[in-house]
Amino acid sequence: MADTLSGRAGLTNAAPQLILIRLRLNFGVGRTHRYRFMTLSVFGERTTAPTNSELRAVLGRAYPFWGTLLARVREHISPIAEVWAYTNATTGWGLRLRHKDRVILYMTPQQTQFLVSFVLGEKAVAAAQATRLPAAIRDAVAAAPRYAEGRGVRVAVRSARQIPGLVALAEIKWRN
């Protein structure tokens, strides 16, 4: 008789198994998503881009912040194109704000919040450190991991107070 791991029947030391957690989402707009693996974005199905009503249902109180950030970035950087893209099964759907061929920022919807991500080159990092940005954004830039493309900065947006600092960082990215 084989020993069981953690007292659960069926999981033995001789044949360990991987347990995957799946998530079922119902957006309340007449469309239920099938079971899927959890992704960074709440929209993980590749077949269709999220609709505005699905986005509103998922973001909840953060939905106005989404619109405000889009509008404020458009005011400061022109022209801006909004491009929904499915990256991969781990990331899911996200909105890219592009100036010509350059992505300025990525917006990833999550339940009741959204992530804003930047890839900053070293000139943009230096400019961000020299600018009066909110402390939370300065800390996120300083702690961002370095990649070949630049530093990957990610900020979870839950409040309207975060928007001015993110717009300023988008402008820094655009100018550098």
Quick check: 13 and 3 in contact, CB under 8 A?
yes
User: Any idea what DSSP says for residue 21?
Assistant: -
pLDDT in tens, the chain (176 residues): 444 334 434 433 433 333 333 333 333 333 444 444 466 888 888 888 999 999 999 999 999 999 999 999 999 999 999 999 998 888 899 999 999 999 999 999 999 999 999 999 999 999 999 999 999 999 999 999 999 999 999 999 999 999 999 999 999 999 99
Q: Which helix (H) or strand (E) holds 143?
A: helix 135-143
pTM over 0.85: no
Which residue, among 121, 127, 112, has the nearest Cα to 153 in the 3D structure?
Answer: 121
User: What's the sign of the alpha-carbon dihedral 45, 51, 56, 57?
Assistant: negative
Per domain, the residue ranges of the chain are 52-175
Q: Six-digit token pair at 26?
A: 């119902």
